[in-house]
Each structure stands twice: as structure tokens, then as C-alpha cells.
Structure 1
Amino acid sequence: MNAPTSKSTPTLPQPHHPYKVMALYKFASLPDVEALKSPLAEFCCARGVKGTLILAPEGINGTVAGAPEAIDALAEFLFTSGPFGNRLAGAEVKYSFADTAPFLRMKVRLKPEIVTLRAPQVDPNRQVGTYVEPEDWNGLIERNDVVLVDTRNDYEVGLGTFQRALDPHTSSFVEFKDYVEKNLDPARDKKVAMFCTGGIRCEKASSYLLSQGFEEVFHLKGGILKYLEVTPPEESRFKGECFVFDERVSVGHGLELGSATLCRACRHPLTEADRRHADYHEGISCPHCRDDAAKHEAAAERQRQMDLARQRGLAHMGDAAATDAQQRRQRKKQLADQSRQANKD
């Protein structure tokens, strides 16, 4: 199968938002990942770009955000002018915008895989399923001879999914192999269509199914995010919101900010119904972790610190918190110096 021909061009021109978000992945041969890590991290930090990028010998994956001009510069660095050369050409790239910073810091991580499946026989650079454009997706999944599978984890599916999609009820992508073994049969399931958030998990999932003897495997090109970006709401077969791995928590059609929030104790995404539940206590607990006292205690202390910081007009997390802490240290030092000078006098 040929790789997708996506271009790294902006898809949502919304200049009135101060932060531009770039989500990308690319399966490519990167045997020199250790040498690539520092230049990439330094480039991002010098321009105030924050988020997480994962590098592995099989490619790159991640989401970052920053000022629009900084993200544009990073795109050029990754795809044209930087140490990657042209190895990331044709990467799957999606842009969106945010009013507040989605990330608190910048991290470049080295891992064995950019999406963990632990199936050595899988090689998306060699074999993947058939890409289906978002505008062709509805026609495919409405066919009676197609088995539709959501390859995401249970907490993601809980926020939204496609009509009639099967939920593997996995807590991590590694468990997808067990789901296939127990629930899908290449002799029975002749046509399997799959989808995920941005497309990367389906690259590996489709490659895995083909390695297990499945004949026709399809996956949504660009994932749910691309579908929500280009599909009119009245034509959409996706119900709910799409979970994203940053402080936005979820997005809806047009990639507009969704209504979901995170439980600060267990990090489970919460719907409006979850927040109305008797076991929900803001910043402390939710219906998904109601029996985990240890998480509640830690979350309660964190909430207490946040409330104290708010009362004092200080930040609690991120760069603003670091600035506040530095200013407090400088003030203490000044007071100490003044006290020593007064004692000398």
C-alpha cells in the first residue's frame, strides 16, 4: 500500500486564536533518533512551542502548540530544513486552534514504538490497509457486509463514536491483539473497517489484521479529527465528542472545543452527566474512581493548593506558576539581604 499523500498545510485558518495546535505522525525509518532528540527539543523550546513529540526508530508522533508563526517554523524544520531531511515528507498533519495554551511544557521522548502494540510482525511502512477519505466513509460503514471497529480505548469510546461501531473495551492499545483473536475471524469477517483519533493506531491495527490473514481492511484517513473537520454536522455519523490528549479534553464538529472535562484524580474524561453524578466532586473524585481513596486524598490536597494559590492571586501550574515561584524566591532573598544589611548597620 502506498503511504498517504497528506500535505503539511493549515486546514483551519482561524488567526484570531492565539495558539495553533499541530498533531502529526509519520511512520518512517529513523535509526538516528538519539541524535535527533536534542536539536528538536532545543528548536521547540527556543520558540515557546509546548507539547509532546515521540521519536522511535519507526517514526514520529505527537501534538504540540504555540504561536502560529512558531508552529509554522516547526513544520518547516520537521519536513524541509531540519535534520530529518525529507524522511517525514507526506506526514499526516492536522492543525487546529485554541484560545488557551493546551500544554504546560515541552517534552521530546524516545520510545521503542510511536504507538505501542508490541507486535514485531507489524510494519506499517511495508503493509497497511486501504485508506478511506472522510467523504467516502459514510458510504462504507453503512454497508451490511462491513464490520466496523473502534480501535480506541474504552474511556475514549465513552465520549463518542460512530454509529454501529464495535467497542473492543480495551484500556490500552496493546490489548487490541487479544480483542482481534477472541472476536474477529478472517474466514467470517471479510471486510473490516477501523477508525481512531488521528489515524495512527489504525495504521498499525490494519497492518496487524493483514498479518493475521484478513483480506480487506479499511481505515479512516486522518481519523475522527479529519472527519469532524470536513464533514457537515447534518451528514455526520459520529455521535458525541472526540477525546484528545491535551487540556482541551475533547472536540466536536469543526474541531470546536467540546464540553468534556478531566477528573483530576483519575484523569478520566467526564461528560456533563458524569459531572451531575452524586459521586462527582470537582477536582477530587468522579463516578469512575469513587472507590479509590488514595487518588481522592492526593487530588484533594492538589485542589487545596490550587484554591490557596487562587486566593493569593498566584498560578499553580505551568510557566505562570514557575514565574510566581521565582518571584517569591527573589522577594525572600531581597528581604533576607535587607535584614542582613540592617543588622550590620
Structure 2
Amino acid sequence: MASFLIAALYKFVHLADYRALRAPLLACCEANQVAGTLLLAEEGINGTIAGSQAGIAAVLDYLRSDPRLATLVHKESWADEMPFYRMKVKLKREIVTMGVPNVHAGTMAGVYVKPAQWNRLVDDPDVVVVDVRNDYEVSIGSFAGAVNPHTASFSEFPQWVREQSAQGGVLSKKPKVAMFCTGGIRCEKSTAYLRTQGFDEVYHLEGGILKYLETVPADESRWDGECFVFDERVSVQHGLAPGSYELCRACRQPLSAQDKASEFFVEGVSCPHCHDRHTEEQKQRFRERQKQVELAKSRHRRHIGVRMEPRQAPASGDE
């Protein structure tokens, strides 16, 4: 059985004292040998943590002991290896960065749609289905027929909405819109934003893609491909089984078997996405880092020194 429990969590709730919450929360996580990243902002909490089952339970109990977080919901999955290197609790302006003021997801989000009802909604020809994740995430999997905004960060989403709301755009007549993302947090904020723009019928997948893959049988699924996740697993499949993608340590793009077969792939140094984007000096630094990684592996140790971490979790400025 897998050894490490992973808990993904978020909640939009007013935390006026969020700065004061950081130190005791970090202490609780470290005392229970839990690693990962948690973000705190005035608008709430977001993040992913991993550890023993008992350790995760202790941290969740601590969080829920705050009446404002008593209804905090989390999603669980398992990993054979610890997917994080250390524990970080960060203070942010937003737990998911959109950069638009007065978008209050806690009170303005669209209609939640449970995974069991999602297929019926997205099969409706009058519904525009929008994947609100970033382009590199969409590239390895999405719901069939979903619109890809081709954003590099979530802060670009409002501009896409403005462009597509113009005549001829997919949102021009303010249709019914169904949105989805990895765990649900981007959806809450994006649907809230659409409501500020005059959209009346806006829906989002409750629990995100992860809950859908966890609960909907593969033979009934509308999902095509794998789902990118923001830890060392890189991607997951139906049932939240580990996916087939790996991470380029030079550019942090998910890599398929085909990518790794490319002449431009050098483990830890370059891939088809970035082989022409780094200087020779940078590549030499990556080579030295990779040597240290391989040396640590040969000694059955985990290399956590000079490394290129995976992309920041969505809440840190993406999702």
C-alpha cells in the first residue's frame, strides 16, 4: 500500500488575521511531519500537503478547529514516495491570483455541479464548456469538446473573457457556461468573475477534475488524457492512479514518452519545449545539478539541494 497521504484543500472565507495564522500553522505541520505548500490570504486558504495518515488528520483537525474553517473540504490521494521536499506556509494577496478586485468567490461563485451530474451538463449543446487551467495543463488532457483559453497564467483569464465576449466570440451572447479546473478553486473564482460581467447561468464542476476522476467510472467518463497535478506525481489518471508523465527539470513542462524520445531531451537539462530557450551557461548548471541528483540516487538518498521545483501550485498564482 502507498505510504503517503496527499490532501488537497481550499476554502474561500474571510480571514482578516491571516498573517497571524502562519506561524502556528507551520509549527503544526512540522510537528506532524507534514510537507507541502499552504497559502493564506484575506480571502481564504489553499494548498496541498502530504504525510502519514495520522499526520494529515492532525493538521486537518487543527485547521477545522477554527470556526471559519470548520467546513473545510479536502480531497485525498496516495503516493509511494513523499511528493514534497519541505513544508511552506506562504502569505499572499490572493489564494488564486486573478488580479481583479471585488471578485468574491465565497459569495458570488456559480452553481456547483456534482461529478455524477457533470456529463449531462457538458453534453448539452447549448452549454459552452471552458477549461480554465493553463495551456500546459490542458495539453495532456481535458474534457472532450472543451474550450481551451490558451492562457499561460490564471491572471490572463479576464482578458480572454473580455475578448470572447465581443461579437463572434464563444461567450458573445452570454450563453450557459460550465467551467472546470484541477481541484475546483479556479472554477469558483472564474464563475464569480463571469457573474460580475453579467453572465446569469454559470456552472462549475464541484471538486474539480480530481473528484471527477476519483468518482466517475472510466467507461462513463468524458475525460480524455491525464490530469496535471502540482507535485512530484506530475499527472494522474482515472481512479487517481499515477499518470505516465514526468517533469522537465529545466522548464517544468510535463513530458510524455514521445517527448522523452526526442533528440532534444536530456534528462535534467533540456526537452523539446525548452532546448532552445536556455543559455549554455544555464545548461551547464543543469548538468551539474543532474549529476548531484544521480549521485544521491546511487547512495539511496533524496536530492533536495539545488533543484528546479515543479511549477507552483495553482493557488500561488496560477489556479
TM over 0.5: yes
| Separation of aligned partners in 2, 1:69 and 1:309 | 29
In the TM superposition, 1:175-190 aligns within 5 A as: 175-184=156-165, 188-190=173-175
Offset of residue 315 of structure 1: 4.0
The 1:300–1:42 alpha-carbon spacing in structure 2 relative to 1, beyond 3 Å, is: same
Counterpart AA for 2:144: Q
Q: How many residue pairs are counted as aligned between the two chains? A: 299
User: In 2 relative to 1, CA 226–264 (structure 1 residues): closer, same or farther, beyond 3 Å?
Assistant: same
2:53 equivalent to 1:64: no
Aligned to 2:286: 299
CA contact (8 A) 1:92 1:222 kept: no
Q: Distance in 2 between matches of 1:203 and 1:48?
A: 31
CA contact (8 A) 1:121 1:211 kept: no
* Percent identity between the two aligned chains: 53
- In structure 2, distance between residues paired with 1:126 and 1:244: 27
Does the residue aligned with 1:293 lie in a helix, a strand or coil?
coil
User: In structure 1, how many angstroms separate the alpha carbons of the residues matched to 2:172 and 2:302?
Assistant: 58
Q: Indicate if the aligned counterparts of 1:261 and 1:270 stay in contact, CA closer than 8 A.
A: yes
Greater relative CO, 1 or 2 (CA 8 Å, sep 6+)? 2
In the TM superposition, what is the alpha-carbon distance from 1:18 to its structure 2 partner? 1.3
1:241 CA drift (Å): 0.7
CA distance in 1, matches of 2:206, 2:196: 20
TM-score (ref. length: structure 2)? 0.90
Q: Which residue of 2 aligns with 1:221?
A: 206
Letter in structure 2 aligned against 1:301: E
- Say if 1:130 and 1:315 are closer, same or farther in 2 by CA, change over 3 A: closer
Q: How much does 1:305 deviate? A: 2.0
2:33 aligned with 1:87, yes or no? no
Runs of 4 or more consecutive aligned structure 1 residues displaced over 6 Å after TM superposition = none
The question of whether the paired residues in 2 share the 8 Å contact of 1:19 and 1:99 is answered with yes
Once the two structures are TM-superposed, the CA of residue 137 in structure 1 deviates from its matched residue by 0.4
Structure 1 residue 99: Cα displacement: 0.9
Give me the whole-angstrom Cα distance separating, in 2, the residues matched to 1:242 and 1:97: 15
Q: Which amino acid aligns with 1:308?
A: L
Note the alpha carbon deviations across 1:113-162, whole angstroms, 9 max, x for none: 00000111200122110100000000100111000100000010011000
Do structure 1's residue 147 and structure 2's residue 128 form an aligned pair? yes
Amino acid at match of 1:89: A
1:172 paired residue among 149, 153, 166: 153
Aligned to 2:234: 249
Residue type matched to 2:132 in 1? T
Q: What displacement does 1:291 show?
A: 0.5
**Residues 1:283 and 2:264 aligned together:** no
Residue 297 (structure 1) shift: 2.9
Q: Distance in 1 between matches of 2:106 and 2:278?
A: 45
**Residues 317-336 of structure 1 mapped to structure 2, 5 A cutoff:** 317=304
Query: Can you give the 5+ residue segments of structure 2 that lack an aligned partner in the other structure?
Result: 306-319
**1:91-240 counterparts in 2 under 5 A?**
91-184=72-165, 188-240=173-225
Following superposition, the deviation at residue 187 of structure 1 comes to: 5.2
1:62 partner SS: strand
Of 303, 306, 315, 1:316 maps to 303
What is the rounded CA distance, in whole Å, between the counterparts of 2:201 and 2:180 in structure 1?
15
CA–CA separation in structure 1 for the residues paired with 2:243 and 2:262: 19
Q: Identify the residue that residue 33 of structure 1 maps to in structure 2.
A: 18
Matches within 5 A, 1:69-80: 69-80=54-65
- Unmatched 5+ stretches in structure 1: 1-15, 319-345
How far apart, in 2, do the equivalents of 1:163 and 1:187 lie?
22
Do 2:164 and 2:172's aligned partners in 1 also have CA atoms closer than 8 Å? no
Q: RMSD of the TM alignment (CA)?
A: 1.4
2:257 — aligned with what? 272
Instruction: State the TM-score, normalized to the length of structure 1.
Output: 0.84
Deviations 1:166-200 (A, max 9, x none): 11111100000111111135651320110000000
Q: Deviations over 1:267-321 (max 9, x none)?
A: 1111122112221111111111011233433321211222334455654227xxx
CA distance in 2 between counterparts of 1:151 and 1:182 reads 15
- Alignment partners' CA distance in 2, 1:98 and 1:265: 24
